[in-house]
Amino acid sequence: MKRMFVLLAGAVLAAFPALAQQPRFPDKSITVIVPFAAGGPTDVVARQVAEAMSRALGVAVVAENVTGAGGTLGAQRVVQARPDGYTLLLGNIGVATAPTLYRRPPYDPLTQLDAIGLITPVPMTLIGRPDLPAKNLPELLAWLRRPGAEVNIAHAGLGSASQLCGTLLRSILQTPMTPVAFRGTAPVMTEMMAGRIDITCDQTTNTVPYIRDNRVRAFAVTTPQRLAALPDVPTTTEGGLPQLQVTIWHGFYAPHGTPRPVIDRLAQSLRAALADPAVLNRFSDLATTAEPPERATPDAHRAFLEAEIARWRPILSAAGEYAD
């Protein structure tokens, strides 16, 4: 009995060095790759949440913009990173549409990324240049459908939220519109205010300040109910276009193979960030909300991603517009 006790004690003591060698996560700063331009809608979400996660984790969570190819360059950076939880992706709906937008997809979100949790579903707004003849959505639809109409519809690049919303609008209306691509949302708004772009469809995180200042004309929000931040802007259903229902969701991802305890720790800090009053107040200003705790989990995020890939595949395939 005494010999057995000595052997057990020796085994426990021998394990201590191995335990000591396992670093606490996190023990250094975490980089969040934002695959779109600084100051854009996704970047605004990323930086607000990263700051709150820093407080929850006790280390710096730093956003880094890696732009290009509709968000796929940034995603590829994360796919190729070490799966240790220190390099993350903050992706939007483009993660779900990349497998269809690219005939040779540069990465597979279901096999090369691990979902951490959903962050926020950002509504979209259908807006136009301030001198557009149409004053409301029914008038806009009539203006778009008039014989011989020459209309341009801007977006922030293939794979961007504005491109997806615009593609859905064109597929619903089946009227000729000329897509005009820009590198980011800022030049779209600049050209629209100058009267050189007719319409676009973009996230409230980008458009609310312009709408409130009457620098662009708002026709509708793409949600079932009106938004508290834009109470005077009707929904697409109110304006006679109920098929145009879009929210641009955002989520965190890690490289595939990241240990589950690390994923769970990151998801825990995400839920803490989404309960942070500073985040909630900022989201309210931008006409969006935080996802509830049950959706800010790895399993809920994974299931939602699978459903969104299936939802957008037929829409994008029918449009026949590819990024490669």
Question: Looking at the predicted structure, is the pLDDT value of residue 71 above 90?
Answer: no
What are the domain boundaries of the chain? 30-122+248-319, 123-221
pLDDT at 243: 93
pLDDT at 22: 53
pLDDT at 156: 86
Question: Looking at the predicted structure, is the pLDDT value of residue 4 above 50?
Answer: no
In this predicted model, which residue has the larger pLDDT, 37 or 12?
37
Question: Looking at the predicted structure, is the pLDDT value of residue 7 above 90?
Answer: no
Question: Looking at the predicted structure, is the pLDDT value of residue 261 above 60?
Answer: yes
pLDDT at 3: 52
**Cβ atoms of 227 and 287 closer than 8 Å:** yes
- Do the strands 247-255 and 113-128 form a parallel or antiparallel pair, or are they unpaired? antiparallel
Question: Looking at the predicted structure, is the pLDDT value of residue 112 above 60?
Answer: yes
Dump pLDDT digits (tens) for 265-307: 999 999 999 999 999 999 998 888 999 999 999 999 999 999 9
Using CB atoms within 10 Å of the CB of residue 130, give its burial: 0 to 12 exposed, 13 to 18 middle, 19+ buried: middle
Question: Looking at the predicted structure, is the pLDDT value of residue 49 above 90?
Answer: yes
User: What number does CATH give the domain 123-221?
Assistant: 3.40.190.10
Closest C-alpha among 89, 106, 171, 161 to residue 308: 161
Q: Kindly report which listed range (18-32, 101-115, 219-233) carries the lowest average pLDDT score.
A: 18-32
Distance separating alpha carbons of residues 75 and 62, to the nearest angstrom: 16
Both tokens of 17, joined, read 């060095």
Q: Cβ contacts of residue 128 below 8 Å, gap of 6+? A: 134, 140, 192, 198, 199, 200, 216, 217, 219
Closest C-alpha among 34, 111, 38 to residue 79: 111
Distance separating alpha carbons of residues 120 and 8, to the nearest angstrom: 50
197 three-class SS = coil
Question: Looking at the predicted structure, is the pLDDT value of residue 321 above 80?
Answer: no
Confidence of residue 318 (pLDDT cuts 50, 70, 90): confident
Rounded to the nearest integer, the mean pLDDT of the chain is 90
CATH topology classification for 30-122+248-319: D-Maltodextrin-Binding Protein; domain 2 (3.40.190)
pLDDT at 277: 96
Dump pLDDT digits (tens) for 134-192: 999 999 999 999 998 999 999 988 778 898 899 899 989 999 899 999 988 889 999 99
**Cβ atoms of 158 and 321 closer than 8 Å:** yes
Closest C-alpha among 307, 303, 296 to residue 118: 296
Confidence of residue 308 (pLDDT cuts 50, 70, 90): very high
